[in-house]
Amino acid sequence: MSSLCKEATPLVSRLLRRCSAVTSMKVARKLHALLLTAPTAEPYTPFLHNNILSMYAKCGALRDAQQLFDRMPHRNLISFNAMISSYSQERGSTINCFELFSQLRIDGDCSKPNAWTFMSLMQATSLLRNWWVGSMLHCLVVKFGCYCNFCVQTAMLMMYSNCGDLGCSRKVFHDMDYRDSFAWDAMIIGNMKNDRIEDGLDVYASMRRSSVVPTQFTYTKVFNGCARLGDFCRGRLIHAHVIISGIGLDLQLQNTMLDMYCSCGNTQMAYKVFNRIDVPDLVSWNTMISGYSENGDGEKTLDFYVQFLRRSCIEPDEYTFAAVFSGISDMPCLQCGRPLHAQLYKWGFEQSMYAGSTLILMYLKNGETDFARVLFNLMSNKDVILWTEMITGHSQIGDGKNAVKFYHQMFQEGYRIDSFSLSGALSACADLATLKQGEMIHVHAIKTGNCFDMSVAGCLVDMYAKNGQLESAESLFFQLTNPEMKYWNSMLGGYSSHGKAKETFNLYNELLRRGLRPDQVTYTSLLSACSHCGLTGEAKLIWSDMKARDIIPGLRHYSCMVTLLSRAGLLEEAKALIHQSPYDDNIELWRTLLNSCVTNRNQEMGIHAVEQILRLDPNDRATHTLLSNLHAATGRWDAVAQTRRVARGLAVDKNPGLSWIEFGSDIHEFTSGDRTRSDIEQLEDELQRLQENMIRNSEEFDDSPVTT
């Protein structure tokens, strides 16, 4: 190569030195033209062409490089290596690497492949994630005597890690005579990529015990691992390692530390790290805003966003707004959400799917469904995530009808149905108790292959259980390999609501046998089953077991126990339980007791319950009605007349009755006294016709002869 350089003119030498620094395709072509026209002793030497090849590769001009390569009269190993290296960095061009490698082995003018050849081929295999090709390359590396090359071994480590074979990756690592920070980093990254985060952090610990000093890149990766695990203690320890090592803190490492502390829920420590950053960038600000948002601190999320606007010259992006909207979704929409919505338009992100989905969810959580739908309709490029937000958002606020409606629209418009949209729609069907809709969505889940997804299968169990289809729910539940706790609760709830106490207790015992810990919902189902079946003794045992497991009873637990004790005639125990509970100011508990006092004709206890209710709400008409019934049951007719006069004088504020039916793929709602429906006249005519048919059939039945 030195002899060739000597033959080149000073002009050519200067041009060749420029080749190594060129990154613009336009400049590269100009240099190529100058080199072709410059006087040289050997105008077509491989040395000259190889420099131009490398120049085109750095500029990403693979087509120009390939054309030059094809026209080269003499190609050597360096020419092939330059082209293979260029193709190995582009995911869509990796197949060309192996075509060139085959050509290299056929071409008799070239020497055998060397370490640089195999390094590029390993990189191409990493992009392809093809283990078979990688293992064959491994054999060739050994055959050509390149296995002991440190760079080849490092590339092989990454290749096996990307292919998911950590066993082979570890073997290569242990075969290395010398391991620098790149080799250790390759092992850490490999474990992290394959969700073996604990193993990756163990590799980092081994690295510290060796003589190799971790780099900024190393610390960035291990902080990411701690963030994914939510391991605050280990993250703080690694932070101490960074301080002790005296390594310089670049902005990327500081941002990673911010993310780690926020992911571990320690926003105070994250704020301290943030204050030590000289010039925070947008990633720094977004990480802090997201940290407060994800940890449920809406006020600090908003406050930090305001600080960002005041202290920084950087403009917010769609991720900034998404984090803020997510953080303030539980705050009053009028005070916070709408002003921020205006800022979203000001900065030009009104069509952003990422920010738009969180904005829609914020409106839905605040019950502003009309605003959410208007925003949704204004989105020109709706994606699956946005449709899913509309389905799950309506489902979570109890608007199951619109959740199912949006699901069907999504399906009809040809969007890909995924596990999240299916789960949201099935949850809506469970709450509405609409079996036909649920069965249709179950068919969609089977067709799309999502029926085996844990969340979808669990929602199917819940839907069938709440619709009373316990056999279908059982069939699906027992197909789950390791059902989550909420799906056990769905099955228990299905049994208990249908009075199947034996099945409820059997399933509960199985749950305990598998080592799962029951929660508040579990005990609600157990107590509900006892209440339905009148199992007072069993309910008391369950109540004691719940307290022994340090589970604090909630209102629903007390409601089940009060109902059970009252129905069993244990009125004193029911009264004592209400007084002992933190819910002694709950009208429904006292009304349950009062209702049983009427049944059991217990005047004294009933009067006590009435006093407690009227203390909380003197105008409660339902209580006066029950008191009138109590007086009637005990024969105090004068008190009956007086109580009824008081009840008539109270204002009545009742919620209108509501019902719905399934017809085809639609859900029709009916509200008592509602005459706003467009088909109200047809409905009244149909009801009149049905009523006449019933009267006529009743008369025919009365006139028919009685046979014995």
What lies within 8 Å, CB to CB, of 552 at 6+ separation is 520
Strands in 85-153 per DSSP E? none
Sign of CA dihedral 86, 88, 94, 95: positive
How many CA atoms within 13 Å lie on the side-chain side of 57?
22
Under the banding of pLDDT at 50, 70 and 90, the label for residue 30 is low
Pseudo-torsion of CA 252, 255, 260, 261, nearest 10°? 150
Q: What is the mean pLDDT of residues 203-229?
A: 91
pLDDT at 706 over 50: no
The rounded radius of gyration (Å) of the Cα atoms in the chain is 37
Under the banding of pLDDT at 50, 70 and 90, the label for residue 162 is confident
Residue that is written with structure tokens 């810990």 in the block: 517
Q: What is the pLDDT of residue 264?
A: 92
DSSP character at residue 334: I
Pseudo-torsion of CA 60, 66, 72, 78, nearest 10°? 60
Q: How far apart are CA 382 and CA 376, in angstroms?
A: 8
Q: What is the pLDDT of residue 253?
A: 92
pLDDT tens-digit profile of 309-330? 888 888 999 899 989 988 888 7
Q: How far apart are CA 526 and CA 535, in angstroms?
A: 10
Decide: 310 and 276 in contact? Cβ < 8 Å.
no
27-31, 191-195, 401-405, 702-706: which has the minimum mean pLDDT? 702-706
What lies within 8 Å, CB to CB, of 299 at 6+ separation is 331
Under the banding of pLDDT at 50, 70 and 90, the label for residue 268 is very high
CA–CA distances in Å: residue 64 to residues 45, 53, 338: 18, 8, 54
Q: How far apart are CA 379 and CA 359, in angstroms?
A: 12
293-302, 435-444, 638-647, 689-698: which has the minimum mean pLDDT? 638-647
pLDDT at 7 over 50: no
Show the tokens assigned to 313. 């010259």
State the alpha helices, DSSP H only, in 176-297.
181-193, 197-209, 216-229, 232-245, 251-263, 267-275, 282-294
CA angle (432, 438, 443) in 5-degree steps: 170
Q: What is the pLDDT of residue 221?
A: 93
pLDDT at 1 over 80: no
pLDDT tens-digit profile of 484-539? 888 898 899 889 888 888 999 999 999 898 888 999 999 999 998 998 888 888 98
Q: Select the more confidently predicted residue: 1 or 701.
A: 701
Q: What is the mean pLDDT of residues 124-152?
A: 88
DSSP character at residue 672: T
How many CA atoms within 13 Å lie on the side-chain side of 670?
9
pLDDT at 552 over 80: yes
User: Residue 380: what residue type?
Assistant: S
Q: What is the pLDDT of residue 262?
A: 93
pLDDT tens-digit profile of 615-640? 888 777 777 777 777 777 777 777 66
Q: What is the mean pLDDT of residues 415-424?
A: 90
- Domain positions in the chain: 400-481, 498-677
Q: What is the pLDDT of residue 233?
A: 92
Q: What is the pLDDT of residue 111?
A: 67
Pseudo-torsion of CA 560, 561, 567, 571, nearest 10°? -140
Q: What is the mean pLDDT of residues 662-672?
A: 60
Q: What is the pLDDT of residue 457?
A: 87
CA angle (393, 394, 400) in 5-degree steps: 140
Residue by residue, DSSP assigns 465-530 as HHTT-HHHHHHHHTT-SS--HHHHHHHHHHHHHTT-HHHHHHHHHHHHHTTPPP-HHHHHHHHHHH
pLDDT at 107 over 70: no
Q: How many C-beta neighbours within 10 Å does residue 237 have?
A: 12
Under the banding of pLDDT at 50, 70 and 90, the label for residue 22 is low
Topology of 498-677 in CATH?
1.25.40
Under the banding of pLDDT at 50, 70 and 90, the label for residue 666 is low
Show the tokens assigned to 156. 């092989």
Residue that is written with structure tokens 């690295």 in the block: 207
The whole-chain average pLDDT of the chain stands at 82
Pairing mode, strands 666-671 and 658-663:
antiparallel
pLDDT at 42 over 80: no
**Most confident residue range from 36-50, 99-113, 221-235, 687-701:** 221-235
Q: What is the mean pLDDT of residues 575-582?
A: 88
Beta bridge partners of 666: 663
CA–CA distances in Å: residue 346 to residues 304, 336, 690: 19, 16, 58
Under the banding of pLDDT at 50, 70 and 90, the label for residue 655 is low
DSSP character at residue 626: H
Angle of helix 501-513 versus helix 485-497 axis, rounded to 10: 160
Q: How far apart are CA 217 and CA 269, in angstroms?
A: 22
User: Residue 9: what residue type?
Assistant: T
Decide: 291 and 270 in contact? Cβ < 8 Å.
yes
The DSSP H or E segment spanning 331 is none
Q: What is the mean pLDDT of residues 6-20?
A: 53
Q: Select the more confidently predicted residue: 623 or 426.
A: 426
Q: What is the pLDDT of residue 261?
A: 94
77-86, 382-391, 669-678: which has the minimum mean pLDDT? 669-678
What lies within 8 Å, CB to CB, of 309 at 6+ separation is 316
